[in-house]
C-alpha cells in the first residue's frame, strides 16, 4: 500500500523504531530525502547510541532533538555524554524544556550528583517547571536517590498534582533511608488523597521489613 503523505511516512518510521527494526527504519528513511523535522527526531531516537553523526548532520534541530539525545545517553548509562549534551543544548541557544530538565535530573540521579541536581533545581524554578508532576517527579527522585530527604520532602510538597509515581517515590525514599514512620504516614495520606496503591507501592514496604 503506497504511503501518500508525510504523516503516513512518519507513522511507519516511528513503528519501525519503536519495535527495534532499526535497519528497516534506516532503509525507509534513506528512500525519502525531503524528511520533515519530526522524521529526523523519530529516527534519531532509535539510533542514539549508534548514530551520533545523524544528530550532527541534522539540517535543523529543536528542543526535542536535543532532549532525545540526552534521554538516549542517560537511559544507556552514558551519564557524562548526557550531561554534555545538556550543556551544549544551552550553548546552542535552545530553550530548555520540561523534557530536557527531566532527562538531566534523571542523569543526576543515576550518578548521585547532588550538587549538580541542586543547580538544575534552581534553573527549573526560574523556568517555572517545578510544580508539575513531569519534572517534579524527576526532581523528587533525584533528591531521594541522593539521600537528601529534607529536599525530597520539599520537592514532593511542591508538586501540585501528585500522581501514583509521586507518592511511591516519596514512600520509597523514606523507606530506603530508614524513615519507616514517615513512609507509613505518606502511605496513609496517599490513600486519603484518593490515589490507589499499586504493586510498586507494596514493593516500597519490603524495605521496611
Task: Report the C-alpha gap between 62 and 41 in whole angstroms.
Answer: 9
Return the residue matching grid coordinates 533545581. Answer: 121
Q: Which positions of the chain have pLDDT values less than 50?
A: 1-8, 17-18, 33-35, 37-38
The pTM of this model reads 0.70
pLDDT value of residue 193: 95
pLDDT value of residue 91: 86
Long-range contacts, stretch 4-13, CB < 8 angstroms, 24+ apart: 6/36, 6/39, 9/35, 9/39, 10/36, 10/38, 10/39, 10/42, 13/39, 13/42, 13/43
* Residue range 54-95, pLDDT digits in tens: 777 778 888 878 887 887 777 766 788 888 888 888 888 878
pLDDT value of residue 11: 55
pLDDT value of residue 2: 39
Amino acid at each position: 500500500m503506497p504511503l501518500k503523505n508525510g504523516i503516513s511516512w512518519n507513522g511507519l518510521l516511528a513503528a519501525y523504531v519503536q519495535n527495534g527494526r532499526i535497519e528497516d527504519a534506516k532503509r525507509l528513511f534513506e528512500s525519502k530525502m525531503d524528511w520533515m523535522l519530526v522524521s529526523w527526531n523519530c529516527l534519531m531516537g532509535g539510533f542514539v547510541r549508534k548514530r551520533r553523526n545523524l544528530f550532527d548532520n541534522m539540517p535543523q534541530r529543536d528542543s526535542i532533538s536535543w532532549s532525545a539525545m540526552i534521554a538516549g545517553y542517560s537511559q544507556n548509562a552514558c551519564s557524562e555524554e548526557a550531561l554534555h549534551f545538556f550543556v551544549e543544548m544551552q550553548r546552542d541557544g535552545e530553550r530548555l524544556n520540561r523534557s530536557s530538565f527531566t532527562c538531566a535530573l534523571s542523569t543526576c540521579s543515576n550518578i548521585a550528583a547532588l550538587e549538580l541536581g541542586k543547580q538544575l533545581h534552581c534553573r527549573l524554578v526560574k523556568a517555572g517547571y517545578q510544580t508539575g508532576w513531569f519534572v517534579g517527579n524527576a526532581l523528587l527522585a533525584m533528591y531521594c536517590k541522593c539521600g537528601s530527604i529534607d529536599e525530597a520532602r520539599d520537592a514532593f510538597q511542591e508538586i501540585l498534582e501528585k500522581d501514583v509515581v509521586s507518592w511511591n517515590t516519596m514512600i520509597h525514599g523514606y523507606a530506603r533511608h530508614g524513615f519507616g514512620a514517615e513512609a507509613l504516614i505518606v502511605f496513609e495520606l496517599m490513600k486519603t488523597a484518593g490515589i490507589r496503591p499499586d504493586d510498586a507501592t507494596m514493593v516500597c514496604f519490603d524495605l521496611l521489613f
